[in-house]
A and B are shown apart, each in its own frame.
Chain A
Amino acid sequence: MKQTTRTLSIYSSDTAGTASMLYELGGMTVIHDASGCNSTYSTHDEPRWYQMDSMIYISGLTETDVILGNDERLIEDVCKAAKELSPRFITLAASPMPVMTGTDLDAIADEIRARTLLPVFPIHTNGMNSYLKGASDSLLAFLQYFCKENVEKTVRPSVNIIGATPLDFSINGTVESIRKFLMEEGFDVISCMSMGSSFEEIISAGKAQVNLVISSCGLAAAKYLFRQFHTPFVTGVPLGKRYAGHLAQELRKAIKNGENSFSCLYDRSIPQERENAPAVIHESIFASSLACALEKDLSIPANVIVPEELQISLYRKDADIVAECEDSLREILTHTGTLIADPFYQALISENQSFIPLPHEAFSGRCFRRANKVLAARDLSQWRDILC
């Protein structure tokens, strides 16, 4: 059955991606949606909710508002909240209902901007795209608004980490490990977009000598920074020991030659025998990087499988396997060796097939958070026995 999911979960929506990417930046994110749906963005998809305040709001759209086209209530509520809370900026994002009724988010943003004199940018979510699109569009809009003035590059090697949200990296210390690894390799980390960095750090991103794109959420932003500040980027997550070291070299190379590198896509081989080779399912920059790490650390090439919902991400079209629906994925997995994926995917493979859990919060939320191990710059040899 095409476009039908019987066993699997679905990935977080674009609205959750927006809320997640902007969570720590001091803005007010308003999702134009019916009341009662706030927990989707603020708790199920947001592990920081209990540790860190953020102005994530829902408009509480009612049936009457929809019928009457009552945009004024949204505008007034946002202006009132902005007056009380003084956010640095306001983001508006739409859920399916306002999209269906043709709510003009751009015009509403203009009105709120005129009344509050704050930066207001609408993000054209519809609640039906994956988190990657919402997170990517939001970070790009943020940078286009706040990060455009020319700045001097640093003298020492320096880097921005781009594309970090708990939806891909949880709150298990992975992002901190990436940051630590880069510092140990001699890079000053200018900012991490958007976990663990302040508004001021992120808007000074132009002074970095290179950008490290660790998820597809960060690719559009990296391309913008390349256009704006001529900062080259490298795609990849420093997973495993040897691949992490290789990625550090790629960053140095990019600083030297000013060219972008899609390291995670091309610094790996396609398994000679594709059947029975291990396969990784995750956000595709992460999955590709893990395949690089398996090959460099354990000499085991792996396939990368891209679920249909994540097709807008960066993947290698000549090599990676796109699963168009749950049925086709089930078929693909019958010819796969060890599967490395979110535990929800285990339901699609046979009992005899080996499986390594790789929890992905954008897919299974907090269900397996405790089992989510840090793989950044860590030895992967504990997997050798399962994979061989």
Chain B
Amino acid sequence: MLKVAIYGKGGIGKSTVTANLAASFARLGKKVIQIGCDPKADSTINLLHGNGVTPVMNFLREHDREPNKLEEIAKEGFGGILCIETGGPTPGLGCAGRGIITTFSLLEDLELFETYKPDVVLYDVLGDVVCGGFAAPIRENYASHVLIVSSGEKMALYAANNIHNAVKNFADRGYAKVFGIVLNRRSVENEEEKVRAFADANDLQIVADIPRSNEIIYWEDRNMTIVEGAENSPVSKEFLALANKLLKAEEDRKENE
């Protein structure tokens, strides 16, 4: 099972990248689960054509009990992708990181992986590894690969550096490793050079280069990913290529094991 966690600065396009990646895996015939780990709970909305799933935290708040079955907190979207959102506490209160841990524990109790048997699991995580809860997706038994989404903007690279350092700090713990950087272009001057300089300095690869494209916005306005709406567009092909790279990496990892 390929398990990937996607991190990056807030607003950099993590959910867009994750959802398009999920759609690409689905296009490749894979059984996919996408788990949005952001209190905003909007990670999977375009896979579900605008009819979002009840986030786990919302379920707990509304029902004052834990869900008894997966259907209460999961919904299938494009290509049969199973969509789950952790959601978050009442804004300004509670603990969002704890929400992620609780959601993961609930999903274990509900035997998500055993019953659904996915080929690919994607975790779309809030901007930065700010506490234990936000590191949960990269722990042992969860993701084995981390993708960092960044543009050439200074603050996006700053966040990417923080995330990379956080993952490096967990090297002794058998946590996930950084697979590479997804360059999500924002029309910054010398954008590729800046991101490449960061990548080279940290011994990382740029594993995908997503062009700035109005097509993405066009399809998102129609509650779809571009991979669903325009499979043959150059942008979609970039996501499909990234999906294939990740599948290959997982095969290599298994062989090494």
Q: Which residues of A contact B (CB under 8 A)?
A: 69, 100-104, 106-107, 110-111, 114
B240 CB to nearest chain A CB (Å): 34
Does B136 contact A111, Cβ atoms closer than 8 Å?
no
Closest to A69 in B: B132
Query: Which residues does chain A contribute within 8 Å of B140, judged by CB atoms?
Result: 106-107
Is residue B175 contacting chain A, with contact meaning CB distance below 8 A?
Answer: yes
Which of B46-54, B80-88, B166-174, B224-232 lies on the face that meets chain A? B166-174
B115-173, CB < 8 A from A: 131-133, 135-136, 139-140, 170, 172-173
Does B173 contact A102, Cβ atoms closer than 8 Å?
no
Chain B CB count within 10 A is highest, among A100, A102, A104, A114, for A102
Q: Kindly state the separation between the CA atoms of A236 and B66 in the bound complex, as whole angstroms.
A: 36
Does B132 contact A111, Cβ atoms closer than 8 Å?
no
Query: Which residues does chain A contribute within 8 Å of B98, judged by CB atoms?
Result: 100-102
A3 CB to nearest chain B CB (Å): 13
Query: Which residues does chain B contribute within 8 Å of A100, judged by CB atoms?
Result: 98
Does A114 contact B97, Cβ atoms closer than 8 Å?
no
Does A102 contact B172, Cβ atoms closer than 8 Å?
no
A124 CB to nearest chain B CB (Å): 10
| A69-B131, A107-B175 known; A102-B136 Cβ under 8 A | yes
Does B101 contact A102, Cβ atoms closer than 8 Å?
yes
Does A107 contact B101, Cβ atoms closer than 8 Å?
no
Does B170 contact A107, Cβ atoms closer than 8 Å?
yes
Does A107 contact B174, Cβ atoms closer than 8 Å?
yes
Query: Which residues does chain B contribute within 8 Å of A69, judged by CB atoms?
Result: 131-132
Closest to A108 in B: B173
Shortest 8 CB-CB distances between A and B: which pairs? A107-B173, A102-B132, A102-B101, A102-B133, A111-B172, A101-B132, A104-B139, A69-B132
B190-221, CB < 8 A from A: none
Q: Kindly state the separation between the CA atoms of A195 and B172 in the bound complex, as whole angstroms.
A: 37
A304 CB to nearest chain B CB (Å): 28
Closest to B104 in A: A102
Query: Which residues does chain B contribute within 8 Å of A101, judged by CB atoms?
Result: 98, 131-132
Q: Kindly state the separation between the CA atoms of A104 and B173 in the bound complex, as whole angstroms.
A: 9
Q: Kindly state the separation between the CA atoms of A100 and B133 in the bound complex, as whole angstroms.
A: 10
Closest to B170 in A: A107
Q: Kindly state the separation between the CA atoms of A104 and B98 in the bound complex, as whole angstroms.
A: 13
Does B174 contact A104, Cβ atoms closer than 8 Å?
no
Does A111 contact B173, Cβ atoms closer than 8 Å?
yes
B239 CB to nearest chain A CB (Å): 31
Closest to B133 in A: A102
Does A102 contact B97, Cβ atoms closer than 8 Å?
yes
Query: Which residues does chain A contribute within 8 Å of B170, judged by CB atoms?
Result: 107
Closest to A104 in B: B139
Query: Which residues does chain B contribute within 8 Å of A107, judged by CB atoms?
Result: 139-140, 170, 173-175
| A101-B98, A102-B98, A102-B101 known; A110-B173 Cβ under 8 A | yes
B143 CB to nearest chain A CB (Å): 14
Given contacts A102-B101, A103-B132, 19 further A-B contacts (CB under 8 A): A69-B132, A100-B98, A101-B131, A102-B97, A102-B98, A102-B100, A102-B135, A102-B136, A104-B173, A106-B139, A106-B140, A107-B139, A107-B140, A107-B170, A107-B173, A107-B174, A110-B172, A110-B174, A111-B173
Query: Which residues does chain B contribute within 8 Å of A110, judged by CB atoms?
Result: 172-174
Q: Pick 15 A–B contacts, CB within 8 A, sort by A.
A: A100-B98, A101-B98, A101-B131, A101-B132, A102-B97, A102-B98, A102-B132, A102-B133, A104-B132, A107-B139, A107-B140, A107-B170, A107-B173, A110-B173, A111-B173
